[in-house]
């Protein structure tokens, strides 16, 4: 076991976990702060070992459409990018969702809007969770807060994508992508054979072999009633996902006066804030959403009961806070603190903000 513990960057853990999952293909275009994903894959040369395809596309638009094509064939395919690149992928996100194909899309967020900065941000929360593309769709959005979770969530995201025939996302910021921590990588799984893919994905377009009727994958449906039926089917899947797949971590939520809700790197910083607060006799609990969609609405409502207030720190101007407010139905004060431009607050800064907004107001 000890020998399996290694030290690597979050981005490198993503790459290694893709190979270990038995991925069929990665298509991406380099952009800071996630370029190490493609670099690590190129260094590992999985095409020589597992046969995984690693391809640098000519743009993010190409990359996401290569993923779309691979996904239509039932392959385990993915891409990774950072915020400006993710904007370019929105059409593909919407098309893949409408086509009900499983895919993994990773966004290692940087500060925006526009070309912005290369430093960390969480300001793509709306774009990821509420559908940055057109139409009524949701990807499943996982938010790792450690390098270990970067490695673990790759397999989880793909499993969920195949289970529900939807797009899964890993939404993380440059801080977790760039930092090194201890990690135990998952066991190497073999890539699925064509026969296994046919069995797992009977909808896939991977050759009929004269056996079955034609599979057609398309997002286009010009018959209004049929398109409405499609939407109803998508929504039924989303309700099923909301029922089964909410994940969150609760820390000290039973024994606290104030509740903090934070994800990713902000949850890590928030945990230190809790330690500092405890030294001053201020009791803070934390709900860390692991799935940002489906959002842990019930869990937050439950944890907030009897508390004096809720504090939501984000690396944005306030996005997840809207879902937190909906979760607690404005029954108690919900206060926000955010930094942007790639700036990351210190644990002390969060504690000061919490005190100013909720305690000494």
Partner 1 sequence: MKAEIVIAGFGGQGVLSMGKILAYSGLMEDKEVSWLPSYGPEQRGGTANVTVILNDERISSPILNSYDMVVVLNQQSLDKFESKVKPGGILIYDNYGIHMPPTRKDIKVYSIAATEASIEMKNSKTFNMIVLGAMLKANPMVTIESVLKGLKKTLPERHWHLLPLNEEALKKGATLIND
The span of 16-24, 121-129, 253-261, 263-271 binding partner 1 (CB under 8 A) equals 263-271
Q: Assess contact for 357 and 330: CB atoms under 8 A.
A: no
Given the complex with partner 1, which of 151 and 269 has the nearer CB atom? 269
Per CB under 8 A, 272 contacts partner 1: yes
- By CB under 8 A, the count of residues binding partner 1 is 29
The span of 58-66, 101-109, 151-159, 272-280 binding partner 1 (CB under 8 A) equals 272-280
Per CB under 8 A, 2 contacts partner 1: yes
- State the nearest-atom distance from the C-beta of 235 to partner 1, in Å: 39
Sign of CA dihedral 217, 29, 153, 110: negative
Per CB under 8 A, 116 contacts partner 1: no
String marking each residue 179-208 x if it binds partner 1 according to CB under 8 A = xxxx--------------------------
Per CB under 8 A, 45 contacts partner 1: no
Give the separation between CA 152 and CA 28, rounded to whole angstroms: 20
String marking each residue 321-350 x if it binds partner 1 according to CB under 8 A = -----------------------x-xxxx-
Strand order in the sheet with 309-314: 248-251, 284-289, 258-261, 309-314, 334-338
Given the complex with partner 1, which of 32 and 297 has the nearer CB atom? 32
Per CB under 8 A, 159 contacts partner 1: no
Give the separation between CA 13 and CA 146, rounded to whole angstroms: 10
Given the complex with partner 1, which of 167 and 183 has the nearer CB atom? 183
- State the nearest-atom distance from the C-beta of 324 to partner 1, in Å: 21
Strands 77-81 and 291-293, how do they pair? unpaired
Give the separation between CA 80 and CA 58, rounded to whole angstroms: 14
- Identify the burial level of 338 via C-beta atoms within 10 angstroms of its C-beta, where 0-12 means exposed, 13-18 middle and 19 or more buried: buried
Radius of gyration of the chain (CA): 21
Q: Assess contact for 263 and 145: CB atoms under 8 A.
A: yes
Residues 6+ apart with CB under 8 A from 110: 32, 33, 82, 83, 84, 116, 117, 118, 119, 120, 121, 173, 174, 342
Given the complex with partner 1, which of 205 and 251 has the nearer CB atom? 251
Given the complex with partner 1, which of 154 and 183 has the nearer CB atom? 183
Sole residue written with tokens 């107001």: 361
Give the separation between CA 2 and CA 337, rounded to whole angstroms: 40
Binding residue for partner 1 (CB under 8 A) from 83, 127, 265, 316? Answer: 265
Given the complex with partner 1, which of 122 and 273 has the nearer CB atom? 273
Binding residue for partner 1 (CB under 8 A) from 20, 40, 75, 119? Answer: 119
Given the complex with partner 1, which of 102 and 120 has the nearer CB atom? 120
String marking each residue 160-179 x if it binds partner 1 according to CB under 8 A = --------------xx--xx
Q: Is 298 helix (H, G, I), strand (E, B) or coil?
A: helix
- State the nearest-atom distance from the C-beta of 174 to partner 1, in Å: 7
The span of 5-13, 14-22, 229-237, 310-318 binding partner 1 (CB under 8 A) equals 5-13
Distances (CA, A) of 17 to 55, 131, 151, 283, 310: 17, 26, 5, 37, 35
Please give the backbone phi and psi of residue 299, each rounded to the nearest 5 degrees, phi first: -65, -40
Binding residue for partner 1 (CB under 8 A) from 228, 232, 240, 275? Answer: 275
- State the nearest-atom distance from the C-beta of 305 to partner 1, in Å: 25
Footprint of partner 1 (CB under 8 A): 2, 5-7, 32-33, 118-119, 174-175, 178-182, 265, 268-275, 344, 346-349
């Amino acid at each position: 076991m000890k020998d399996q513990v290694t030290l690597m960057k979050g981005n490198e853990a993503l790459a290694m976990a893709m190979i270990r999952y038995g991925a069929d293909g990665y298509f991406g275009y380099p952009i800071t702060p996630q370029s190490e994903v493609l670099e690590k894959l190129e260094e590992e040369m999985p095409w020589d070992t597992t046969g995984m395809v690693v391809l640098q596309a000519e743009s993010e638009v190409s990359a996401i459409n290569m993923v779309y094509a691979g996904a239509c064939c039932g392959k385990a395919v993915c891409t990774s990018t950072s915020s400006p690149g993710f904007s370019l992928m929105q059409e593909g996100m919407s098309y893949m969702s409408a086509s009900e194909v499983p895919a993994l899309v990773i966004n290692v967020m940087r500060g925006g809007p526009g070309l912005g900065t290369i430093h960390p941000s969480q300001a793509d929360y709306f774009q990821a969770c509420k559908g940055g593309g057109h139409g009524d769709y949701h990807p499943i959005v996982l938010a790792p807060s450690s390098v270990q979770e970067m490695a673990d969530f790759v397999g989880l995201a793909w499993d969920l994508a195949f289970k529900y025939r939807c797009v899964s996302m890993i939404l993380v910021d440059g801080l977790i992508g760039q930092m090194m921590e201890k990690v135990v990588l998952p066991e190497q799984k073999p890539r699925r054979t064509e026969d296994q893919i046919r069995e797992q994905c009977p909808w896939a377009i991977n050759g009929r072999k004269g056996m079955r009727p034609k599979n057609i994958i398309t997002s286009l449906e010009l018959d209004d009633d049929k398109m409405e039926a499609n939407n109803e089917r998508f929504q039924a899947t989303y309700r099923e996902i909301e029922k089964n797949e909410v994940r969150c971590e609760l820390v000290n939520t039973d024994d606290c006066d104030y509740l903090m809700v934070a994800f990713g790197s902000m949850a890590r910083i928030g945990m230190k804030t809790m330690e500092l607060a405890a030294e001053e006799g201020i009791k803070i609990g934390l709900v860390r959403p692991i799935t940002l969609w489906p959002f842990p609405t019930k869990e937050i409502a439950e944890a907030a009961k009897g508390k004096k207030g809720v504090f939501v720190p984000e690396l944005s101007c306030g996005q997840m806070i809207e879902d937190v407010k909906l979760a607690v139905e404005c029954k108690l004060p919900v206060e926000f603190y955010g930094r942007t431009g790639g700036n990351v607050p210190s644990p002390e800064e969060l504690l000061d903000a919490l005190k100013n907004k909720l305690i000494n107001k």
